Amino acid sequence: MASNPPPFARFEWMIAWRYLRARRATGGVSVMTWISLIGITLAVFALVATLAVRTGLRADIVAAMLGANAHMEVHYHRDLSGDIPLDRLIRDYPALTERLAALPGVEHAAPLVRNQVMGSYRGSNQPVDIYGITAEDLRQYPKIAESDASWGDLARFDDGIALGAVLARQLGVRVGDRIKLISPDGVKTPMGTSPRVSAYEVVYVFSTGDVFIDAARAYLPLAEAQSFFNKDGAVDQIDLRLSAPEEIDAQLRPVFEVSGDRAWVQTWRDRAGGMLRALRMQDNAIFIVLSILILIAALNIVSGLIMLVKNKGRDIGILRTMGLSQGSVLRVFFLCGALVGTLGTVFGVIAGVIFALNIDHIYRFVDWVSGSGVAQLEASGFFFPSAVLTVGDITASAAMSLGLSWLITFFPARRAARLNPVEALRYE
């Protein structure tokens, strides 16, 4: 044997592997090895699977917001400083829309009229958030125009109104029915302002998967909305859809420069910032809790190594008298624990990836076993989150598992290295 073997030499791997395959007669070390391996595997699997579902939930929420809403909204402030007070309406919207659409990174710009009314059909009444928009601009919103669950014909949009699926169900209307819209800001008379009531045929019903949108939103043709809300020749806002909505901060300055001093901008992150921050905090909390589970599972490795060191005291003494250094003994027992942690991490990551890739089948299986009604929930507009795997989540999970299992393995391995060979062989 060489006097100074290189670290992690072949014989060290051979001894470590032989110890890992120890039989039950040597003290049940192999049983502890299997317990440690299974524990690490399950903990890493839980971490990877949970992070994938949480990432999928965030992706679904963002996709629903970006698919049915503007990435950026341009509004005007009220201006009372001049001789003629100016309201918040955008009256130069054709030219402003054209300038905004020409900006780099802007895929589409659409003028909108927005207001709230009461929707009524055969005694059922619901608050409705009206969006006045042209048919061409409405087709730029994929969650509306390309809805997975839709009824009617969007090509007839100019002839009526488009409703969210939940709103249509609450009112009890179907495609072809006529609903009444009641606005308190109607015709101005010497006796005051009388409510305005108009009836529209339901030509299209959409489902975005976002219950807040589907339960309150309706779309009217832009010209009809301008007339209904007494906003002829003006709009409330201009909606922008960007080619890179995740990089929206870089787009703010050019939009402000084009829009003028009266403009103020609201982005999709402004609307959803609180929810996204809450999801991020929950992700961090979940990661910490499941990392504690990995630590608990890794402690089984310590238990197994302590038993292994105790049972192999005689072997350690013999190896030391034959010239094996403390470093070699430390590396042998470190390899015993590190191999278990590494294999458990690999198996856990593989299991988590398989779970995430087959999440839809798992939902169906749970529905079939428990009868929980997953299919019925989806039919009613409720969608279960998908699972999205990211390199960052997988890397963080694997790094946490390997770091914990390797770190705690070092301490029993150092104890084995410091074992006095004389004491180890005294009673042999």
Query: Does 362 share its domain with 398?
Result: yes
Q: Which of 208, 239, 261 is the last residue of a domain?
A: 261
The answer to the question of residue 269 being in a domain is no
Boundary residue ending a domain (228, 261, 294): 261
In a domain? residue 72: no
Assess whether 408 and 287 both reside in one domain.
yes
Helix (H) or strand (E) holding 69: none
pLDDT of residue 171: 93
**DSSP one-letter string for 240-300:** EEES-GGGTHHHHHHHHHHH-TTEEEEEHHHHHHHHHHHHHHHHHHHHHHHHHHHHHHHHH
Opening angle at CA 415, ends 409 and 416, nearest 5: 90
Tokens of 252: 């703010």
281 with 238, same domain: the answer is no
> Which amino acid, one-letter code, is at 188?
K
Q: Is 112 helix (H, G, I), strand (E, B) or coil?
A: strand
Instruction: Using the 3D structure, point to which of 261, 290, 308 is the last residue of a domain.
Output: 261
Cα–Cα distance measured from residue 149 to residue 99, given in angstroms and rounded to the nearest whole number? 35
Q: In this structure, are residues 206 and 61 in contact, taking their beta carbons and an 8 Å threshold?
A: no
Q: DSSP 3-state assignment of 188?
A: strand
Looking at residue 318, what is its pLDDT? Answer: 65
Tell how far CA 164 is from the center of its chain. Answer: 24
Tell whether 405 and 341 lie within a shared domain: yes
State whether 206 and 173 are in the same domain.
yes
Nearest to 117 by CA among 135, 131, 138, 97: 131
Q: Length of the chain in residues, anyone?
A: 428
Helix 10-20 crosses helix 29-68 at what angle (to 10 degrees)?
100
Instruction: Tell whether 144 and 202 lie within a shared domain.
Output: yes
Instruction: In whole angstroms, give the CA distance from residue 45 to residue 338.
Output: 18
Q: Provide the domain count of the chain.
A: 2
Structural domain includes residue 270:
no
pLDDT at site 379: 47
DSSP structural state of residue 140: T
Which helix (H) or strand (E) segment holds residue 411: the answer is: helix 391-417
| pLDDT number for residue 281 | 85
Residues 356, 362, 366, 368, Cα dihedral to 10°: 170
- Domain housing 19: 10-63+275-425
Residue 376 and residue 303 share a domain: yes
Q: Are 109 and 101 in contact (CB under 8 A)?
A: yes
Q: Which residues of the chain have pLDDT under 70?
A: 1-9, 11-12, 19-30, 79-86, 186-193, 308-327, 370-385, 416-428
pLDDT at 414: 75
User: In terms of pTM, does the model score above 0.75?
Assistant: no
Domain annotation covers residue 71:
no
Q: In terms of C-beta density within 10 A (0-12 exposed, 13-18 middle, 19 or more buried), how is residue 190 classed?
A: exposed
113 within domain boundaries: yes
Which H or E run includes 105?
Answer: none
Question: Cα separation of 306 and 29, whole Å?
Answer: 10
What's the confidence (pLDDT) of residue 27? 45
Contact 197, 180 (CB under 8 A): yes
- Residue 68 placed within a domain: no
94 and 124 fall within a common domain: yes
163 and 234 co-located in one domain: yes
Task: List % helix, strand, coil for the chain (3-state, nearest 5).
Answer: 55, 20, 25
309 with 219, same domain: the answer is no
Strands (E), 37-143: 72-76, 106-121, 124-133
Instruction: State the Cα–Cα distance between residues 135 and 83, nearest whole angstrom.
Output: 38
